[in-house]
Structure 1
Amino acid sequence: MAADMAMAPDLAALGAPDGSRYLPISEHGLIGDLRTAALVGTDGTIDWYCCPRFDAPSVFAAILDADRGGSFQLAADVPTRTRQFYFPDTNVLITRFFAADGVAEVQDFMPVVDESREADRHRLIRRVVCARGTLPFRAAVAPRFGYGAERHTLRLDGGHAEFRAPSLALALTSTVPLEADGVDVRAHFKLLEGESAVFALDVASAGVRPRACPRAEAQAQFEATVRFWRRWLAQSRYHGRWREMVHRSALLLKLLTYAPTGGIVAAPTTSLPERVGGERNWDYRYVWVRDAAFCLYAMLRLGFTSEAEAFMGFLSGSGVLRCADPIGPAGPLQIMYGIDGRADLPEFELPHLEGYLGSAPVRVGNAATGQLQLDIYGALIDSVYLYDKWGKPISSGHWDELGAVVDWLCDHWDQPDEGVWETRAGRRDFVYSRLMCWVALERAIRMANRRGLPADLPRWRRSRDAIYRQIMSRGWSAERGAFVQGLDDDVLDASLLMMPLAKFIAPTDPKWLSTLDALGTELVSDSLVYRYDPAASPDGLRGDEGTFSICSFWYVEALARAGRLEEARLAFEKMLTYANHLGLFAEEIGRTGEQLGNFPQAFTHLALISAAFNLDRALG
């Protein structure tokens, strides 16, 4: 039967238990297989899932439109309380249902057994197990292909269903009978104590009958996936005070890795709003050079060298490090790339989707890819420096490529750019951009000296020292008693918390301590840190935003390095209370503690790891 969107079931009528159409962003866990990921709500609903890779069009996107986005609901068919947790030391998610007559759980995972680079391998398994008593369950599988824009057909045969759209076909197999509901499927079943049911969703290839997923196979894949995650996590060298949160962050960063290329996405979602009802909604399903480079630092700190090696493979395999000829207006590097290394990420809007809680527009792609952001060079070269020091020595080919980038930077560091926050109000002389250019040159000089590598060191040193002098003379405001956002201005910016972290200035230097106090007074609220004041520094967008969680963890680390350990520890512990029930963070925290922005976000979790590591070391 041909798909008819008008015949689709009313997904809103099957929404969250309290009757709302959208769960809070924080009421989700993430599962994945190093190729793509899915958000699973505490109500048992998968309401975000792109297949077969992170940046593919969505199949389930109810988090962006409860009516037209599509979802995979699986929940007890009686009133329940729910609790959600990760199977210990894994990315296998458990959602438990507590009812008057029984207790059951849904185990959600994507099988992962090794570090295969095969791009097409993919499966999603949902296993329901009754632990006590008896419970009735319902399932409703309503895919909406192509971000809800493609019609699909349904072919149903007992426990097998095939959903076919022009761009993708998915096969659903089940150990319980399925029934058609227009072009979607439903199931109702009851489980007694000890019984289970299995649903498996696979990419369907033309002419290939869907493979079954019997209970024994689901159990075997569950056990293999648990072994994979635990074996990976066992490499961690962190045994400090905040082991559980640090390891959850590490597991999250690994989950955001695209195994076929080694790229790391900034977040697995698009257009979750930085302000509900606002326009600050962006697509983060790409490899930001800055975010991925900082991830490299966090992973190396914990002892995960293979991830660093994989990212180096992404840089070389995709040609990111090779200076283009001719070099474009944004320099030899873009600020972001596709997970396969592609450079073209055109941004467009999806007007048929209403957005999370009506937060439009919903965007796909990212126009910021054409921006000039000079800070990315510091983040990248610092990560390569650390890899060369803690991982493996970089190759002569990588050094040649890196040297060409540094040579370009010597000629172009002293120019305005869009800055680390990707403002859309035109280019400015941001101090943070200068800071990270200094980092790029300083780390390249260190590498050349340590390994005796060929370099135009006199030129590199002249540029490094010129940047230092410019920041100290024009990036410092005597009136504010602080380093400021832009050259010769008086606006504060939390990105400057990186100054002592990047070893540009001593963490106890009087100028820095004065800056730290100024930031604490103006941009910090209950340990939460705002990036800047949009009223004082217009960024080309309407409305305000929440506090930026990476800045909050930078603040913790800056306090610790300044010797203010009691303040640092209290701020860190407060920040942890803003995590969701699974220890996950979005990009921002709202005024009442709600998670805002794309979720979960790599930037936040890598900063958590760094803050925990350095605070632990300072506390002794």
Structure 2
Amino acid sequence: MSQTSFDYPDRYLPIAEHGIIGNLHTTALVSVTGSIDFMCLPRFDSPTVFGRLLDADLGGFFAFECVASDTKNKQLYLPGTNILLTRFLSEDGIAELTDFMPIVDEERDFAVFRRLKGVYGHHSVRVKVAPRYNYGRSGVLAEKNPDGRGYLLRDPEGVQPTMLLLCDVEMEITEEGLTAVIDLHQGDNIDFILTLNEGVDFDLDWMHCFTGCRKFWTEWSAKCQYDGFWREAVLRSALALKLLTSARYGSTIAAATFGLPEKMGGSRNWDYRYTWIRDAAFTMYAFLRLGYTREAEQFMDWIREKCMNHLQLMYAVDGETNLTEEALEHLEGYRGSTPVRIGNGAFDQKQLDIYGELIDTIYLYNKAGGSITHQFWQSIVVLVEYVVEHWRDADHGIWEVRSGKQRFLHSAVCCWVAIDRAMKIADDRSLPCPMDEWRKVRNEIYAEIFNDFWNEELQSYVQYKGSDVLDASALLMPLLRFVSSQEPRWLKTFDAIEKNLSADVLIFRYKLEHGASDGLEGDEGAFAICSFWYVECLARIGQLDKATVVFEKMLGYANHLGLLSEEIGLHGEQLGNFPQAFSHLSLISAAFQIDKKRK
């Protein structure tokens, strides 16, 4: 791609300078300058058609640019919605871009609605639509639609669906796609609708779709039962989690993107567009807390249909189990961070913690009045029996290390949780199970963790049995009700984590320079989820004022829209895939815990 005025000054905007829109089948990231820089089509885990975030030249984008050289931008959501406004402010006046996707039943009904509005003054605005199909491997073939309606944007390889751009602007067809210069006056509304050319069978009237989309989101937001001090931040996190949840399948992806680095220029660049059992289970816990039982019910349907016969770490959105990892070597990566990976090699790892996290969510679902049928219970029993037989096995742990299996603390705790919660479900529902056997094994796990995962020299529980490595996942021990928040050994562990794994309110999951090994090169930033675990723990141990300050300082690391990626870098920048479900669900949980203690 030749250098054009649409290029960013240093070719890449910061990850955080984006908002997200979506239709519960896929999402798009819209930059603060009004450019769609990332979008997969037609599904979360489909190939990209816009991917400028991962390659400034080959990725593709859909951008607007005011010609005035002094243009400043501002971005915001309409309250209680995922409708995004981007404003262009210059000496010429004010222009405004509204972006949303209608909420539709089928993936084939995909559409992005973009309205350019002249608020005040007169503007000259360039527009460029430059898709790059199949992760940037293919270009695009643009042409006038033979039936006279708009322009067709075809995949040269014929793999991905043809897009249709509907607009009243005369566009110039180029090798890169479509381009035009718009003369925008005060009061003008110029609409661009990007949809699929597979027979448009839903209403494409702009105002009708805008009204319907806004109604959907405001009604959904109104169901949020959180009424605490940080309602705006909690609701924005809930709206982000909802955007990451498939309407068709009920599964929730870990993040909207793939390949974004955990360290600038580093190689820790993973594909998070899949459904991790762990992440999705925690997400359902957040939804249940907020009163969104329907999302939990849909996830349980997906679990029953796709996963109960063979539980693995992660799945594609539709339940596909083979997520073979590969590197897209033709992409330069965000700011040169390679490799850019799709698929995820951890899909066939052994991680015992997922049993506890899933069964804990089923337990909470049951408490909320969810249905536990006989067939579902039989499947749960099979999972528990696997834990009873294999809880002593080594695994790859919550952080999916690639340095070999160990007896990880968090995995052991979650094996205890799996049995404990299943026993509680059985007791509540009077369901048949070998209660005495389960209790015996549960008690054995507890005794081993209490005695054998304790490091006397460090005065702390450690990452895995026999190690001298601190791990922030130990913060979950009271959150999962394995220990009391006043347990002396855990309090000493908390002190050790606070002393050795923190930088003010930022918490690192472990420190490679302190002996941790994960089999990967380079270091990483602080994990947002660990910081919010830290907040919860502070509240639980009675340091409520400190918990409040830490929480509010963590909110300051969110972007201008309240969105968070996976990590906070050592320069305060957001790193990793964006937005990240883990970060937002843990924010919700931390806010709840503080409010609970206040009351």
TM-score bracket, normalised by the shorter chain, equals over 0.9
* 8 Å CA contact 1:173, 1:212 repeated in 2: no
1:50 to 33, 36, 40: 40
In the aligned structure 1, how far is the partner of 2:536 from the partner of 2:2?
48
* 8 Å CA contact 1:82, 1:97 repeated in 2: yes
1:13 CA displacement? 4.8
Q: Which moved more, 1:306-315 or 1:531-540?
A: 531-540
In the aligned structure 1, how far is the partner of 2:144 from the partner of 2:334?
32
- Which residue number in structure 1 is paired with residue 23 of structure 2? 33
- State how 1:90-109 maps to structure 2 within 5 Å: 90-109=81-100
In the aligned structure 2, how far is the partner of 1:183 from the partner of 1:617?
55
Matched residue of 2:570: which SS?
Answer: coil
Taking only aligned residues, the RMSD between alpha carbons, in angstroms, comes to: 1.4
Query: In the alignment, does 2:238 pair up with 1:258?
Result: no
Q: Could you give the per-residue CA deviations for residues 563-588 of structure 1, whole angstroms, max 9, x where no partner exists?
A: 01121111111101000000000000
User: Are residues 211 and 337 of structure 1, via their aligned partners in 2, closer, same or farther at CA, if it must alter by over 3 Å?
Assistant: closer
- Percent identity among equivalent residues? 47
- State how 1:402-413 maps to structure 2 within 5 Å: 402-413=380-391
Q: Could you give the per-residue CA deviations for residues 254-287 of structure 1, whole angstroms, max 9, x where no partner exists?
A: 0000111000000010010001111100000000
- State how 1:64-463 maps to structure 2 within 5 Å: 64-79=54-69, 80-112=71-103, 116=105, 118-156=106-144, 160-165=150-155, 166-168=158-160, 169-205=162-198, 208=199, 213=204, 217-318=205-306, 320-322=307-309, 332-463=310-441
1:560 to 539, 547, 567: 539
* 8 Å CA contact 2:139, 2:176 repeated in 1: no
* 8 Å CA contact 1:12, 1:67 repeated in 2: no
Partner AA of 2:358 in structure 1: L
- Which residue number in structure 1 is paired with residue 465 of structure 2? 487
1:601 to 580, 593, 597: 580
1:244 CA displacement? 0.3
1:10 to 2, 6, 9: 2
What is the aligned length?
592
* 8 Å CA contact 2:143, 2:151 repeated in 1: yes
2:501 to 523, 530, 537: 523
* 8 Å CA contact 1:70, 1:143 repeated in 2: yes
Q: Could you give the per-residue CA deviations for residues 439-460 of structure 1, whole angstroms, max 9, x where no partner exists?
A: 1111000011111001111111
- Which residue number in structure 1 is paired with residue 557 of structure 2? 578
1:120 CA displacement? 2.4
In the aligned structure 2, how far is the partner of 1:108 from the partner of 1:15?
21
In the aligned structure 1, how far is the partner of 2:121 from the partner of 2:579?
35
In the aligned structure 1, how far is the partner of 2:191 from the partner of 2:84?
15
In the aligned structure 1, how far is the partner of 2:5 from the partner of 2:518?
40
In the aligned structure 2, how far is the partner of 1:155 from the partner of 1:54?
27
1:478 CA displacement? 1.5
* 8 Å CA contact 2:141, 2:175 repeated in 1: no
1:21 to 11, 26, 29: 11
* 8 Å CA contact 2:388, 2:438 repeated in 1: yes
Partner AA of 1:291 in structure 2: D
In the aligned structure 1, how far is the partner of 2:321 from the partner of 2:184?
50
In the aligned structure 2, how far is the partner of 1:111 from the partner of 1:210?
13
1:121 CA displacement? 2.2
2:450 to 448, 472, 478: 472
In the aligned structure 1, how far is the partner of 2:454 from the partner of 2:72?
55
User: Are residues 370 and 204 of structure 1, via their aligned partners in 2, closer, same or farther at CA, if it must alter by over 3 Å?
Assistant: same
In the aligned structure 2, how far is the partner of 1:182 from the partner of 1:345?
33
User: Are residues 174 and 44 of structure 1, via their aligned partners in 2, closer, same or farther at CA, if it must alter by over 3 Å?
Assistant: same
Matched residue of 2:74: which SS?
Answer: strand
Matched residue of 1:145: which SS?
Answer: coil
1:183 CA displacement? 4.3
In the aligned structure 2, how far is the partner of 1:258 from the partner of 1:177?
36
1:461 CA displacement? 0.9
1:119 CA displacement? 3.5
* 8 Å CA contact 1:90, 1:230 repeated in 2: yes
In the aligned structure 1, how far is the partner of 2:252 from the partner of 2:470?
30
Runs (4+) off by over 6 Å: 209-212
- Which residue number in structure 1 is paired with residue 517 of structure 2? 538
* 8 Å CA contact 1:345, 1:367 repeated in 2: yes
* 8 Å CA contact 1:172, 1:210 repeated in 2: no
Normalization by structure 1: what TM-score? Answer: 0.94
In the aligned structure 1, how far is the partner of 2:337 from the partner of 2:244?
25
In the aligned structure 2, how far is the partner of 1:173 from the partner of 1:110?
15
Partner AA of 1:120 in structure 2: R
Matched residue of 1:393: which SS?
Answer: coil
In the aligned structure 1, how far is the partner of 2:4 from the partner of 2:125?
19
1:512 CA displacement? 1.5
1:188 CA displacement? 0.9
In the aligned structure 2, how far is the partner of 1:550 from the partner of 1:257?
19
Normalization by structure 2: what TM-score? Answer: 0.97
Partner AA of 1:86 in structure 2: Y
User: Are residues 499 and 84 of structure 1, via their aligned partners in 2, closer, same or farther at CA, if it must alter by over 3 Å?
Assistant: same
In the aligned structure 2, how far is the partner of 1:440 from the partner of 1:11?
56
Matched residue of 2:190: which SS?
Answer: strand
Partner AA of 1:507 in structure 2: S
* 8 Å CA contact 2:131, 2:139 repeated in 1: no
